[in-house]
Structure 1
Amino acid sequence: MSRHFTPPTPEATAVTAILIDAARCWREARDSGQSVQPCLSRTLDRHDCAILAPVLDSLCLFYEAALERPMTVGDAFNVSDDEHLLLGLVDGSRPRQCLACTQDVSATLACAVCSTRIMLMLTLGDPSARRLQ
């Protein structure tokens, strides 16, 4: 049986790569005691979006607070459950209520997710506007 699906748009693929690379960089910097934002800036520069370092630093910080434990990241061959959840929170496919955190932490994470969405759109452009051109 064959299944038909719509392939992901280049924008969606780029956002996924940016978020995964940023989360892994953030985790490595935190674990090694490095300053997070300079590490994020270097990592994000490969995607031509180093300006996202502060917003992604905040997103990961508040996401980890909502998890109430360190975020687990995958490797070159696997995306972790935490990374999948983070992607779902940013793309809107997972509600923030899926985390068992306090209302205050949930509200703070929601703000970080909204800020991230806005900055991704401003940095990468509005995909719907590109389809109209």
Structure 2
Amino acid sequence: MSIVAPPLSPSSRGIACLLPTLARGWRAARDRHACTQQRLHRLLAPHHAGMLAPVFDSLMTLYETALGRAFRVGTVTALSADERMLIDLLDGARPQRACITCPEGAARALHCSLCSTRIMLAMLG
């Protein structure tokens, strides 16, 4: 069975453009052993998208699991390779199997999370 998620709409892309900020906020919260969803909600709420905090928390957790290591953040002036790959995976520019080698279970979970995130973004926009 294949799951096909809709492409990101222009308004959904606005929230998706926040992905590096969301990923960095998530990573900072994880490193401090703080509540990741609370941090994500704070970042998403000004965009009327606070309800997506659990969606992005799941996406980040499963992405990190698939990577098999901690997610690496970029700098103020440059995205990390992990951030670029996550953006490409979310917008469908790169097929998952072409960029991440991980156990089948982790791959399926990440695939479902990417599809779910796209669907939730489409519903928002």
Which stretches in structure 1 are left out of the alignment for 5+ residues?
1-8, 126-133
- 1:120 matched residue in structure 2: 121
- 2:6 matched residue in structure 1: none
Distance in 2 (CA, whole Å) between partners of 1:115 and 1:12 is 13
Cα RMSD after superposing both structures: 1.6
Deviation at 1:104, TM superposition (A): 0.9
How many correspondences in the alignment?
116
Q: Check conservation: 1:18, 1:47, Cα contact below 8 A.
A: no
- 2:85 matched residue in structure 1: 85
Distance in 2 (CA, whole Å) between partners of 1:81 and 1:16 is 17
Q: Check conservation: 1:68, 1:101, Cα contact below 8 A.
A: yes
Distance in 2 (CA, whole Å) between partners of 1:46 and 1:64 is 26
Answer yes or no: is 1:55 the counterpart of 2:22.
no
Label 1:12 to 1:119 Cα distance change in 2 as closer, same or farther (>3 A): closer
Report the residue type matching 1:18 in the other structure.
Answer: L
| Identity %, equivalent residues | 42
- 29-38 or 70-79, which deviates more: 70-79
Deviation at 1:12, TM superposition (A): 6.6
Report the residue type matching 1:109 in the other structure.
Answer: L
Distance in 1 (CA, whole Å) between partners of 2:108 and 2:101 is 12
- The TM-score with structure 2 as length reference comes to 0.86
Label 1:46 to 1:76 Cα distance change in 2 as closer, same or farther (>3 A): farther
Higher RCO (CA 8 Å, separation ≥ 6 residues): 2
Distance in 2 (CA, whole Å) between partners of 1:109 and 1:102 is 11
